[in-house]
Structure 1
Amino acid sequence: MTRRDLSRLATRTVLVLVAIITLMPFVEMLAVSFASKSEVYTGAVLPMPSLAATIANYGYAIREVPLLRYLANGAFVCGMIVLLQVLIAAPAGYALAKLPFRGRPILFGAVIVALMIPLQVPAIPLYLAIAYAGLLNSYTALILPFVVSAFGIFLFRQFFVSYPDEVLEAARLDGFSELAIVWRLMLPAARPAVMAFAMISIIVHWNDLYWPLVVVTKTSMMTPPIGLMEFRSSGDSTGHIGALMAGGVIATAPLVACFLILQRHLVRGLSFGVRT
């Protein structure tokens, strides 16, 4: 075996070990959601599954709190955020990439700076503005702070920079407006970037606990993370580990399905983003 083969074997072994370590919590969560209380407390790493326990755990999780409502809220909020982010980020990225205007480097620098500012920094003024507008416990409160995405603008700008200028000039000669160029030429060509950005945005906002916890108190408006926290504190759920894990599986399944559908676009879309 050559040194190159040994290097490949070592690399793959490390990757397999990292994958196992990463997946073990999810495998454990799934296994516990299929197990009875008695089986869970035996201390086994992977409890034995039981059909009766599975039905009981998932039935309890759905009955105790409106998990399906939380999933619907999460899907609507994430879908609207992604849609509005693309509608804003695509023209902004196109302008920064292809339209010469005074102050463009400064605006691009502002986008870079915005990438480094976490939500917690402007959280208080955002909360006060939403509260004064009477928008607490609403979809608007969950969606509005995220409609402008600095990462989205940066990603689309990096993708559009490599688009041939000759095609744009030909489109302008054919009577295309700048917005028509964005929607009819640039965005279809940027499909990998759109898919990658949508995947990242969905993951971030589906898993977001901080902001929904700040602006939502009504059960009917809760998203999956805050809904699971409510489930954990409701009734005797604290001791019902199987049902808690079932709730976690239910809340995680849509995100996993979305990732499996879009994963092939993720690397391709982000690889375009490294171009300058």
Structure 2
Amino acid sequence: MSISHTRDLAVPAAIIRHAVLLITGALILVPFVWMVSLSIKPPGEIFRATFSFWPEQFYGLENYTKALTSSPLPCYMLNGIFVCGTILALQIAVCAPAAYALAKLNFPGRNLLFALVLIALLLPHEVLSLPLFILGYKLGILNTYAALIFPYVVSPFGIFLFRQFFKTIPDDVVHAARLDGLSELAIVGRIMVPMALPAVIAFGIFSVVSHWNSLFWPLIAVRDQSLMPPPLGIMAFKNEDTGSDYGPLMAASTIVVAPLIIAFLSAQRWFVEGLTGGAVK
């Protein structure tokens, strides 16, 4: 097959590939565009049969003001920052040493433990909600920050991701650190984690997005409004008697989603590098 013929086939394939990506991206963005559009519309325009992104009467100031004042949304946001930040810090503290042991240490049962980690990846967290609720009740931590944090401290995905990245680091680095007198924990904290910074950032984005958006477990674990994370808190805009106040609800949802979008766009280079780094050794 000639080079020119190969190029002729590559152009339509590239067009089809980009068309599929554009269509998929558009489908993903449609709900977010709709959410932002509804957040700046008055109630009379929200349920119109025809859709237009920009409203005839701009109502964004009223909707966003109501979102921030009619419920303690800033408190919910601070709760989300505290809970997600604490979870991420504890997950790195637990998952990095576990991943280092699976990647760089030889001990009986290592392969079995890694197999259990892979099995744990297949289990949705909702399956464990009942035993976790009973355990939380026995420990007396329900309706506290601890109930929102401790069920997520051990992350099978974090262990797997760090282990794959640690495998790409030459063993000579570890041997040299041991010759310098560093303990195994010091090697993890001072050498492995800094070298795996892209993986840490990628995992951090996954962890924060997952727990920032979590609704199922917080709905079970806490009742006090002052402890509610953002997804649970914005349910305050739902009224069974008068119906949901969709304008402020969409405004609150936009405020809740905005930090995640900004964080991802700021760290997308490290995010991709962290996910692909462990795939090549």
Same fold (TM over 0.5): yes
Counterpart among 98, 103, 111 of residue 109 in structure 2: 103
Is 2:262 the counterpart of 1:257? Answer: yes
Aligned to 2:131: 125
Rate the CA distance shift 1:233–1:262 in 2: closer, same or farther, 3 A. Answer: farther
Percent identical pairs in the alignment equals 45
C-alpha distance in 2, partners of 1:8/1:47? 31
Is 2:16 the counterpart of 1:15? Answer: no
CA contact (8 A) 2:198 2:273 kept: yes
Is 2:174 the counterpart of 1:168? Answer: yes
Aligned to 2:238: 232
C-alpha distance in 1, partners of 2:57/2:176? 64
C-alpha distance in 2, partners of 1:241/1:210? 21
Aligned to 1:223: 229
Rate the CA distance shift 1:234–1:79 in 2: closer, same or farther, 3 A. Answer: farther
Which segments of 5 or more consecutive residues in structure 2 lack a partner in the other structure? 1-6
Aligned to 1:135: 141
CA contact (8 A) 2:40 2:59 kept: yes
C-alpha distance in 2, partners of 1:56/1:236? 19
Measured against aligned partners, the alpha-carbon deviations of 1:122-154 in whole angstroms (never above 9, x if no partner) come to 211211111122211111000000001111111
Counterpart residue identity of residue 251, structure 1: V
TM-score (norm 2): 0.93
C-alpha distance in 1, partners of 2:74/2:154? 28
Of 36-45 and 151-160, the range deviating more from structure 2: 36-45
Residues 5-154 of structure 1 aligned to structure 2 (within 5 Å)? 5-49=11-55, 53-154=59-160
C-alpha distance in 2, partners of 1:183/1:149? 18
Counterpart residue identity of residue 270, structure 1: L
Of 81-90 and 58-67, the range deviating more from structure 2: 58-67
C-alpha distance in 2, partners of 1:234/1:77? 29
Aligned to 2:189: 183
C-alpha distance in 1, partners of 2:45/2:147? 43
C-alpha distance in 2, partners of 1:235/1:168? 64
Aligned to 1:195: 201
Aligned to 2:3: none
Rate the CA distance shift 1:252–1:237 in 2: closer, same or farther, 3 A. Answer: farther
Counterpart residue identity of residue 115, structure 1: L
Query: Could you say what secondary structure the match of 2:267 adopts?
Result: helix
Of 48-57 and 221-230, the range deviating more from structure 2: 48-57
Q: CA deviation at 1:51?
A: 7.6
Q: CA deviation at 1:169?
A: 1.1
Is 2:222 the counterpart of 1:241? Answer: no
Query: Could you say what secondary structure the match of 1:121 adopts?
Result: helix
C-alpha distance in 1, partners of 2:150/2:68? 29
Which segments of 5 or more consecutive residues in structure 1 lack a partner in the other structure? none
Of 69-78 and 47-56, the range deviating more from structure 2: 47-56
Query: Could you say what secondary structure the match of 1:28 adopts?
Result: helix
Rate the CA distance shift 1:110–1:63 in 2: closer, same or farther, 3 A. Answer: same
Query: Could you say what secondary structure the match of 1:61 adopts?
Result: helix
Of 143-152 and 46-55, the range deviating more from structure 2: 46-55
Q: CA deviation at 1:50?
A: 6.6
Query: Could you say what secondary structure the match of 1:44 adopts?
Result: coil
Aligned to 1:273: 278
Is 2:10 the counterpart of 1:4? Answer: yes
Q: CA deviation at 1:231?
A: 2.1
C-alpha distance in 2, partners of 1:233/1:258? 32
Rate the CA distance shift 1:234–1:224 in 2: closer, same or farther, 3 A. Answer: farther
C-alpha distance in 1, partners of 2:191/2:236? 46
C-alpha distance in 2, partners of 1:17/1:69? 38
C-alpha distance in 1, partners of 2:239/2:84? 25
Is 2:210 the counterpart of 1:204? Answer: yes
Report the number of matched residues.
275
Measured against aligned partners, the alpha-carbon deviations of 1:174-225 in whole angstroms (never above 9, x if no partner) come to 1111111111111110001000000011111111111000111111111111
Q: CA deviation at 1:49?
A: 3.6
Query: Could you say what secondary structure the match of 2:127 adopts?
Result: coil
